Amino acid sequence: MRSYLPFLFLFTFLSTIAQQPGMPNAPVQQNVPSNTNDKSSTGETLRFVNDLLNRYNKYDSSIRIDQITGEIIFTDRFSELRAYFSDVEFRRDLENMGIYCKDASNCLRSRDTSSGDPESPRKKYTFGIKENGLAVPDTDIAIQRLNQMLNSFSGTPKPMIPINNVSMGAVNDQLDIINTAFRNYNNYDTVFSVKGNTLHWDSRVANVSAEISDLTFYIDYESRWIVMQCISGECLEGSISKDSYSMGLQTSNGDIAPNIEEVLQAFNTLRKEVLTR
């Protein structure tokens, strides 16, 4: 009998080891990433967040990273946005969440998802992970995990910024001047943007666009307007008039906006930046 005792002991020990994974244990949350912020958790974090986006976002949103360029990339049905790891963080915005430039600069480089045309850079971009109009409970977990992931790449050096991105920054500077003036002195919620070489202006009354190379700009001082004029023939899309479009810039007293000449200069500089980038 003694000769069988070591065998029985070994058999019992091995059987116990084989059964360990099936024994009762603390509940395991299959989809929630670990708290560690090292690079090994990156894939787990992205799977967790993209699963939430797939279930609770209606705009084909997704998040991925490019470790070669050191960028985080957010894509939805409308835009693709890129930013360097160290420049951004995720924040809660009421029932939404968003990706924000830490220093409030225009660090989010954007392009149209369908056409690939460059868009104006942004300071932030918000999106929802919602059910019945309310953020799902895992929204805050997603924000925490994404920020942990970004922090884990905080030492990743930025590559050299391409020339066209510098130009987009200059374009955005001019758009800021223009849109601030129209926000203060125009009654139709007019907003200007640039996509590729096309200037767009959208308001409560029209959505108009034109190739910026086909436009010239001037002030109608008598009417207190800024005028978009086609250089030759008809060039405007979305407007009843196809050769020119006028928009008022006036104070609440009906006087011409005090910075209207600065706005005109911004349009001319914008045209130059778009055509030379």
| Conformation bin of residue 233: beta by default, left when phi > 0, alpha when psi is -120 to 50 | left
pLDDT at residue number 28:
36
Question: What is the arithmetic mean of pLDDT over 37-59?
Answer: 82
Question: What is the arithmetic mean of pLDDT over 207-224?
Answer: 93
What percent of the chain lies above the pLDDT cut of 90? 40
**pLDDT band for position 236 (cuts 50, 70, 90):** very high
pLDDT at residue number 11:
43
* pLDDT at position 206 over 80: yes
DSSP secondary structure of 40-95? GGHHHHHHHHHHHHHHH-SS--EEEEETTTTEEEEE-SSEEEEEEGGGEEEEEETT
The domains of the chain are located at 39-152, 163-276
| Conformation bin of residue 57: beta by default, left when phi > 0, alpha when psi is -120 to 50 | beta
Lowest-confidence range among 158-172, 214-228, 229-243, 260-274? 158-172
* pLDDT at position 54 over 80: yes
Q: How many angstroms separate the CA atoms of 22 and 130, rounded?
A: 36
Question: What is the arithmetic mean of pLDDT over 170-182?
Answer: 90
List strands edge to edge, sheet with 215-220: 215-220, 225-230, 244-248
| Mean pLDDT computed over every residue of the chain | 80
Question: What is the arithmetic mean of pLDDT over 155-178?
Answer: 65
Q: How many angstroms separate the CA atoms of 128 and 76, rounded?
A: 11
**pLDDT band for position 21 (cuts 50, 70, 90):** very low
At position 89, the amino acid (one-letter code) is: E
pLDDT at residue number 166:
38
* pLDDT at position 251 over 90: yes
Question: What is the arithmetic mean of pLDDT over 221-231?
Answer: 93
* pLDDT at position 237 over 90: yes
Q: How many angstroms separate the CA atoms of 197 and 227, rounded?
A: 19
pLDDT at residue number 51:
92
- 127 bridge partner residues: 97
* pLDDT at position 40 over 60: no
At position 84, the amino acid (one-letter code) is: Y
* pLDDT at position 165 over 70: no
Q: What are phi and psi of 217, to 5 degrees?
A: -130, 145
Question: What is the arithmetic mean of pLDDT over 245-251?
Answer: 94
* pLDDT at position 208 over 90: yes
**Could you count the other beta carbons within 10 Å of the beta carbon of residue 1?**
5
